[in-house]
């Protein structure tokens, strides 16, 4: 049939509030203009072909057969864990449209996998949207976010809706846990937010780091609980500074937030070196973003000197700005919408 659709979905950073959000404090997330791209081309059979050259799995070619079996050919053997999100996203997308139609997928990413930038969520969102659109159907963004969140829950066992919400809607979102639910409020920035993202390979998983912080809280509640509460205060002040366009205050709050996260033990020497190199080169503020244990840091700056400083100590650099649109079709060569 040959319908072809390309979509993109943004990654995200956490400006303030990681880890504390686990304990009911707010967090502030920002979608950034670094994307996962998924191109879907409808086949004339029921097979699924996947080419994912940019997902840190060089040379990986995968076919998913109609019975769900995966056939993988790669330089590293059957390394398919990063594609679990793609497989589940396709299954959920097929359930949504009510039919199984084969597609060839080309997946490209401007972000490293497992760095805390929400890449897996962007993959899930983009895969569902590309499949649905390639078959000629429409999907509401709320439904897209819900289905992509289901992908993350199915693959991970448990997942926050934050990453899939950011990848779907874009923008800035203030996250407030309330009981068993999460309230997400859009935030309007008072000015442009220039960011430099520095990346170093992770040495600990999110699950390990969250468990470590929990152990510290349980054994030293009188010490750790005030740190978590203060991170919550910083997040609320950070939102106010963001809405007023006060970049200097935002930077100061980032610096304090990082110091508190480091005191919890979730930073690393490499992350700290990037954080302090960015400040020395003129960044208004800098901090780790995400769970820590390696991964990414952010610096509030648009200075080339900051990028170079991070690179000089071995970090990989991405410059980023706000993405306010979220997931969208960027190239649609499909036939008119199916009824």
Write out the catalytic residue numbers: 163
Q: In this structure, are strands 48-51 and 103-109 parallel, antiparallel, or unpaired?
A: parallel
Closest of 330, 316, 326 to residue 122, by C-alpha: 326
Q: Which helix (H) or strand (E) holds 151?
A: helix 141-156
Give me the residue label for tokens 């289901």. 150
- Give dist(CA 75, CA 58) in Å, integer: 7
Closest of 120, 181, 114, 131 to residue 154, by C-alpha: 120
Closest of 154, 129, 126, 153 to residue 139, by C-alpha: 129
Burial annotation 286-304 (CB, 10 A radius, 16+ → b, else e): bbbbbbbbbbbbbbbbebe
Please return the burial class of 339, using the count of CB atoms within 10 Å of its CB with bins 0-12, 13-18 and 19+.
exposed
Bridge partner residues of 88 (DSSP)? none
- In the chain, DSSP finds a helix count (H) and a strand count (E) of 9, 13
């Amino acid at each position: 049939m040959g319908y072809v659709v390309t979509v993109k979905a943004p990654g995200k950073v956490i400006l303030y509030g990681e880890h504390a959000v686990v304990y009911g404090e707010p967090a502030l997330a920002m979608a950034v203009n670094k994307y996962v791209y998924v191109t879907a081309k409808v086949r004339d059979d029921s097979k699924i072909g996947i080419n994912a050259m940019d997902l840190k799995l060089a040379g990986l070619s995968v076919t998913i057969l109609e019975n769900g079996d995966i056939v993988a050919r790669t330089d590293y053997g059957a390394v398919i864990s990063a594609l679990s999100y793609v497989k589940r996203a396709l299954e959920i997308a097929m359930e949504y449209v009510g039919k199984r139609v084969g597609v060839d997928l080309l997946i490209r990413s401007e972000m490293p996998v497992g760095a805390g930038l929400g890449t897996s969520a962007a993959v899930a969102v983009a895969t569902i949207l590309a499949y649905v659109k390639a078959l000629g159907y429409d999907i509401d963004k709320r439904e897209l976010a819900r289905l992509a969140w289901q992908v993350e829950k199915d693959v991970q066992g448990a997942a926050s809706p934050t990453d899939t919400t950011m990848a779907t809607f874009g923008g800035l979102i203030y996250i407030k846990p309330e009981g068993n639910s999460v309230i997400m409020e859009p935030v309007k920035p008072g000015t442009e937010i220039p960011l430099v993202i520095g990346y170093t390979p992770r040495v600990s998983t999110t699950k390990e780091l969250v468990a470590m912080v929990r152990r510290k809280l349980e054994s030293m509640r009188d010490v750790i609980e005030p740190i978590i509460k203060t991170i919550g205060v910083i997040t609320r002040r950070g939102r106010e500074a963001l809405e007023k366009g006060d970049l200097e205050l935002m930077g100061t709050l980032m610096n304090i937030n990082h110091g508190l996260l480091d005191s919890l033990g979730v930073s690393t020497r490499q992350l700290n070196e990037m954080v302090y190199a960015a400040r020395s080169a003129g960044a208004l503020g800098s901090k780790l973003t995400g769970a820590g244990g390696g991964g990414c840091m952010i610096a509030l700056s648009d200075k080339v000197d900051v990028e170079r400083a991070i690179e000089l100590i071995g970090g990989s650099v991405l410059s980023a700005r706000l993405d306010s649109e979220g997931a969208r079709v960027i190239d649609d060569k499909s036939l008119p919408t199916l009824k």
